Amino acid sequence: MRLRPSTLRKVRGEIVTLAGAAAGGCALGFAQIPGGWLSGAMIGVAACAALGWAGPLSTPLRRLALTGSGVAIGSAMSPAMLKSLGAYPASLAFMAAAVAAITYVSASMLQRIPGWSPQTAFFAAVPGALSYVFLVAAQDEKADLPRIAVVQVCRVFFLMALIPLIVGETSAVTLPKSGPIDPPLLVLVDFVFGGLAGYVLERLNVAGGMLFGAMLVSGFLHATGIAPGRSPLAIVEAAQVLIGAWVGARFIGFDWRLLARSATASLGSFLAGTAVSMIFAAAASFCLALPFAQTMVAFSPGGLEAMTILAFALGLDPLYVGAQHLARFILISLTLPFALRLWSARAQRIASQA
What's the burial of 6, exposed, middle or buried (CB within 10 Å: 0-12/13-18/19+)?
exposed
pLDDT, tens digit, for every residue of 254-270? 777 887 888 888 888 89
pLDDT of residue 170: 62
- Return all residues near 28 (Cβ < 8 A) that are at least 6 apart: 36, 37, 39, 40, 43
Domain range annotation of the chain:
75-179+230-353
Taking only the tens of pLDDT, the chain with its 354 residues reads 555 766 778 888 899 999 999 999 999 889 877 778 888 898 899 899 888 899 888 889 889 988 988 898 888 776 555 555 555 788 989 999 999 999 999 999 999 888 889 999 999 999 877 767 877 887 787 888 888 888 888 888 888 888 877 776 666 545 445 568 888 999 999 999 999 999 999 898 876 788 888 988 998 888 788 888 888 888 888 988 988 898 888 888 877 788 788 888 888 889 999 999 999 999 999 998 888 999 999 998 877 777 888 888 888 888 888 888 888 888 888 888 889 889 988 888 887 876
**C-alpha span between 144 and 147 (Å, rounded):** 6
* Single pTM value for the model: 0.76
**C-alpha span between 124 and 145 (Å, rounded):** 9
pLDDT, tens digit, for every residue of 109-127? 999 888 889 999 999 999 8
CA angle 285, 290, 295 (to 5 degrees): 60
Helix/strand/coil (H/E/C) assignment for every residue in the chain: CCCCHHHHHHHHHHHHHHHHHHHHHHHHHHCCCCCHHHHHHHHHHHHHHHCCCCCCCCHHHHHHHHHHHHHHHHHCCCHHHHHHHHHHHHHHHHHHHHHHHHHHHHHHHHHCCCCCCHHHHHHHHCCCCHHHHHHHHCCCCCCCHHHHHHHHHHHHHHHHHHHHHHHHHHCCCCCCCCCCECCHHHHHHHHHHHHHHHHHHHHCCCCCHHHHHHHHHHHHHHHCCCCCCECCHHHHHHHHHHHHHHHHHHHCCCCHHHHHHCHHHHHHHHHHHHHHHHHHHHHHHHHHCCCHHHHHHHHCCCCHHHHHHHHHHCCCCHHHHHHHHHHHHHHHHHHHHHHHHHHHHHHHHHHHHC
